[in-house]
């Protein structure tokens, strides 16, 4: 939880780096700052963005221990409330629209209409993915997969009612669960492809806008199939075939090839893809993880939230320069939520 906030604040840099389309430019500016070791992440230059505020809403909602309908109502309530803390945090247009349509407390008030523009074509869809790692921390066990599917899809489509959006939430929740129980990232993508038909079964059985969801369903899985095939990971066994992509410009070009509308990491399908690519290629090196998963052209706070959070599940804080987490905005809330989720999931601290 804390490192997901670190990835957000670093990738955001008060809006300066989130909206920078050039990885090489970001790396020039990073060098001028003295590198990662010289940075202290704290406001006003380094606040957390909408990603962390909404991730906290998910985490603190799950940490109540509620289940079923009451949990979905609680999450809807917290997403609406979170929009009151967005000054200087640049929330996405789909999150703003979605939360304006929620009616928490009313019967099924956590549902909004299908949103055909929430594809990445015409609207950012990463907003559901960036707030979902905590779902995997709450439901890490294999036998909890049906709950993880339901909660990630329903919480995701509270604002992003389009498969390209809410399947991003499913992907990140699943990666969180797999990471929490020690599965290596080489397996995560193949597991996602295995889970997608189960996710469809859930969407169909829930009976909400089934036809519209069906018509838009295939893009996400097709994109992931292509990516995993390119890395030799369709079967989920390593070693992955990773291109070196040693320069920021090379990485920007590859990430652009996965993106919609020329904005890498802005969509539900490619933000978790950039994050997984960074995890696979960085080999446990924090600086390399940041270079690949946070400090690139595009929606770098969202990919950073996901990549750094997943990295933390494996590596913890030990090799992270202390200036990054020490003064992070909302660090205490992130840590407390993580402890409560861990207690609920594993029954101990």
Q: Which is nearer to Mg ion, 49 or 132 (CB)?
A: 49
Q: Which is nearer to Mg ion, 271 or 324 (CB)?
A: 271
Separation between Cα atoms, residue 68 and residue 235, nearest integer Å: 33
Separation between Cα atoms, residue 234 and residue 237, nearest integer Å: 8
Using an 8 Å Cβ cutoff, are 69 and 92 in contact? no
Q: Which is nearer to Mg ion, 50 or 277 (CB)?
A: 50
Separation between Cα atoms, residue 115 and residue 117, nearest integer Å: 5
Separation between Cα atoms, residue 220 and residue 200, nearest integer Å: 12
- Provide the token pair at 164: 């390209």
Contacts of 225 (CB under 8 A, 6+ apart): 193, 234
Q: Which of 341, 349, 344 is nearest to 132 (CA)?
A: 341
Residue 127 CB, shortest distance to Mg ion, in Å, is 9
Q: Which is nearer to Mg ion, 111 or 296 (CB)?
A: 296
- Length of the chain counted residue by residue: 349
- Provide the token pair at 78: 């917290």
Residue 312 CB, shortest distance to Mg ion, in Å, is 18
Q: Is the peptide bond before 79 cis (omega within 30 degrees of 0)?
A: no
Residue nearest to Mg ion (CB): 49
Residue 5 CB, shortest distance to Mg ion, in Å, is 11
* Contacts with Mg ion, residue ranges (CB under 5 A): 49-51, 301
Residue 92 CB, shortest distance to Mg ion, in Å, is 7
DSSP state of 48: -
- Provide the token pair at 16: 């300066």
Residue 89 CB, shortest distance to Mg ion, in Å, is 6
Q: Which is nearer to Mg ion, 50 or 186 (CB)?
A: 50
Residue 333 CB, shortest distance to Mg ion, in Å, is 17
Using an 8 Å Cβ cutoff, are 204 and 161 in contact? no
Q: Which is nearer to Mg ion, 140 or 304 (CB)?
A: 304
Q: Which is nearer to Mg ion, 7 or 140 (CB)?
A: 7
Residue 41 CB, shortest distance to Mg ion, in Å, is 14
């Amino acid at each position: 939880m804390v490192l997901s906030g670190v990835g957000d604040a670093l990738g955001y840099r008060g809006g300066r780096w989130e909206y920078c389309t050039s990885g090489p430019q970001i790396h020039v500016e990073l060098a001028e700052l003295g590198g990662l070791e010289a940075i202290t992440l704290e406001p006003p230059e380094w606040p957390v963005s909408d990603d962390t505020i909404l991730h906290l809403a998910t985490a603190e909602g799950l940490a109540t221990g509620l289940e079923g309908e009451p949990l979905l109502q609680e999450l809807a309530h917290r997403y609406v409330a979170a929009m009151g803390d967005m000054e200087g945090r640049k929330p996405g247009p789909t999150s703003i629209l979605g939360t304006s349509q929620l009616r928490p407390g009313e019967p099924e008030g956590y549902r909004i209409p299908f949103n055909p523009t929430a594809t990445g074509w015409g609207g950012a869809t990463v907003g559901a993915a960036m707030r979902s790692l905590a779902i995997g921390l709450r439901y890490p066990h294999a036998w909890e997969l049906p709950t993880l599917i339901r909660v990630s899809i329903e919480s995701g489509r509270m604002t992003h009612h389009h498969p390209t959006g809410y399947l991003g939430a499913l992907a990140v929740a699943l990666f969180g669960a797999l990471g929490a129980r020690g599965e290596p990232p080489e397996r995560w993508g193949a597991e996602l492809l295995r889970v997608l038909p189960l996710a469809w079964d859930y969407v169909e059985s829930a009976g909400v806008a089934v036809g519209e969801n069906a018509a838009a369903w295939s893009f996400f899985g097709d994109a992931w199939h292509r990516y995993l095939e390119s890395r030799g990971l369709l079967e989920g066994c390593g070693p992955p075939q990773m291109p070196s992509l040693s320069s920021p410009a090379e990485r920007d070009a590859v990430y652009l090839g996965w993106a919609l509308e020329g904005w890498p990491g802005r969509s539900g399908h490619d933000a978790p893809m950039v994050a997984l690519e960074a995890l696979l290629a960085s080999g446990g090196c924090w600086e390399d993880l940041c270079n690949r998963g946070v400090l690139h052209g595009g929606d770098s706070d969202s990919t950073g939230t996901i990549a750094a959070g997943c990295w933390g599940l494996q590596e913890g804080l030990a090799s992270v320069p202390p200036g990054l987490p020490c003064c992070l905005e909302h660090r205490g809330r992130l840590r407390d939520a993580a402890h409560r989720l861990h207690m609920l999931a594993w029954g101990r601290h």
